[in-house]
Structure 1
Amino acid sequence: MDKRRAIGSWLSGPRAALEEAGADFGYRGERLGLPETGPGSMAGPGRRLAAVAVDWGISLLIAYGLITDGYQQATGNWALLVFFVLSTLTVGTIGSTPGKRLLGLRVISLDTGLVRPQRALLRSALLCLAVPALIWDRDGRGLHDRVARTVEVRM
């Protein structure tokens, strides 16, 4: 194996190297029974991260404008609380936060399609911890979604 190919497989990651060797992982969401593309398919990581960034920006604006007097160290803590409440209430009622709605995403339950408030609470709490959201399975679902038995799909 030449050096370029070895470096390329290292940069693209183990999944790409295994796929090049002939392993078939299928598409994201196939194991969950979701379509490959279009409405109801798994949301991509770029859109999901952008939606979280929009929601975090909204939370920071609320914390900065309504709760704290100017930017202080406590603004970040208040923003996290606002983010938690925003995520819990909106996902638990309409299935989408403002950022997700803006980017055409929705959170659904794998069992019923609707996210119950208890699952939204669990999902939001784990999302606020950040670490579970950074651990993904081969379908691209974060650990917070796996524990809450939810998935983010395109609308």
Structure 2
Amino acid sequence: MTGSWLNGPRAARDNDSDDAPRWRGERLGLPESGPGSAAPVGRRILAFLVDITLAALVTWAFTAPAPPGNWSLLGWFVITVVPVSFFGVTPGMVLLRIWVARVDGSSMVGPWRAVVRCVLTFLIIPAVVWNLDGRSWHDRITKTLVLRR
């Protein structure tokens, strides 16, 4: 009676049990586990951490002995946008065996989707607000999803 928001997100999902998916990505036709299933949040976060660390190291190699400062954002932008546009992965995603795919099944994510995903990830909030399918705002806006390899 007091509202499911007091009990947390699980209570809200339990109230709508007839519409709630049994696993992340079920409503999108994704398998429950294995290749092609929705990538776990932990892998996505680790891939992001690998990418920002790599960007900082590459930038530091060009700016040493001074700290890389904001130049590492440019490095992160490049190592995120270019490979995702054409191959659907960043170096961190390759390491953690996940990739970005378009919902419509097209083979390339494309430059505009990769740029929008990168900018929205930089803003943080669109990248950390998830739905029951495991898709964040930046995935829904660009009509992409992150899958296991």
Q: TM-score range by the shorter chain?
A: 0.7 to 0.9
Give the one of 36, 39, 46 matched to 2:42.
46
TM-score by length of 1: 0.82
The equivalent of 1:6 in structure 2 is: none
**Preserved CA contact (<8 Å) 1:84 1:128:** no
Aligned length: 141
Q: What is the alpha-carbon distance in structure 1 between the residues aligned to residue 122 and residue 16 of structure 2?
A: 38
Q: How far is 1:22 from its partner?
A: 7.6
Deviations 1:4-30 (A, max 9, x none): xxxxx95xx322x34566825221111
The equivalent of 2:77 in structure 1 is: 84
Q: What is the alpha-carbon distance in structure 2 between the residues aligned to residue 113 and residue 33 of structure 1?
A: 18
Q: Given the alignment of the two structures, is residue 62 of structure 1 paired with residue 55 of structure 2, yes or no?
A: no
- What is the root-mean-square deviation in Å for CA atoms of aligned residues? 1.9
Q: Given the alignment of the two structures, is residue 147 of structure 1 paired with residue 123 of structure 2, yes or no?
A: no
Quick check: which has more Rg, 1 or 2? 1
The equivalent of 1:5 in structure 2 is: none
The equivalent of 1:108 in structure 2 is: 101
Q: Give identity over the alignment, percent.
A: 43
The equivalent of 1:129 in structure 2 is: 123
- Tell me which stretches of 4 or more aligned residues in structure 1 moved more than 4 Å: 18-22
Deviations 1:65-108 (A, max 9, x none): 2135322xxx2411111111110001011110010000000100
Q: How far is 1:114 from its partner?
A: 2.5
The equivalent of 1:4 in structure 2 is: none
- Compare the two structures and name the one with the higher helix fraction: 1
TM-score by length of 2: 0.85
**Preserved CA contact (<8 Å) 1:39 1:153:** yes
Q: Which shows bigger deviation, 27-36 or 92-101? A: 27-36
Q: What is the alpha-carbon distance in structure 2 between the residues aligned to residue 154 and residue 61 of structure 1?
A: 27
Give the one of 108, 114, 123 matched to 1:120.
114
Which consecutive unaligned segments of at least 5 residues does structure 1 have?
1-8
Which consecutive unaligned segments of at least 5 residues does structure 2 have?
1-5
Counterpart of 1:124, as a letter, is C
Q: Secondary structure at the match of 2:70?
A: helix
